[in-house]
Amino acid sequence: MLTTLSLVALGGAIGATLRYLTGVGVMRMFGHGDFPLAIITVNVVGSFLMGVFVVAAAQRGLTHMSPFVMTGLLGGFTTFSAFSLETMTLIERGNMGSAALYVALSVGLSVGGLALGLLTARSVFA
């Protein structure tokens, strides 16, 4: 149990660090606008990677790595609590259209990213 908790913690630290660095990179590339592009980027990429890992783990017998990869690494990398906060911030600022667009894109593209990850990994590991 302690080993599993340590793996989750290590994965979470790595995932959170990667989320921060991705956010910095997105801000440097596109600037700081009103739309939370960095957050949506990590959510879509994280969803894609989750889809890839689910298939790779099943095909390659790596399900024992799920606590590290899925709970820790990808859980630390994706940002749905930040997503909720960004949505409420847009709503409170009166940007209802941007809030609705942000929710639709975040959910739609993240589910799409996961589906693309599943398809990609299934074609690679088939």
Non-local CB neighbours of 10 within 8 Å, separated by 6+ positions: 68, 72
> SS3 for 46?
helix
Cα separation, 115 vs 20, in Å, equals 25
E strands present in 1-126: none
Say if residue 75 carries a ligand binding annotation.
yes
41 carries a ligand binding annotation: no
The binding site for Na(+) consists of 75, 78
The binding site consists of 75, 78
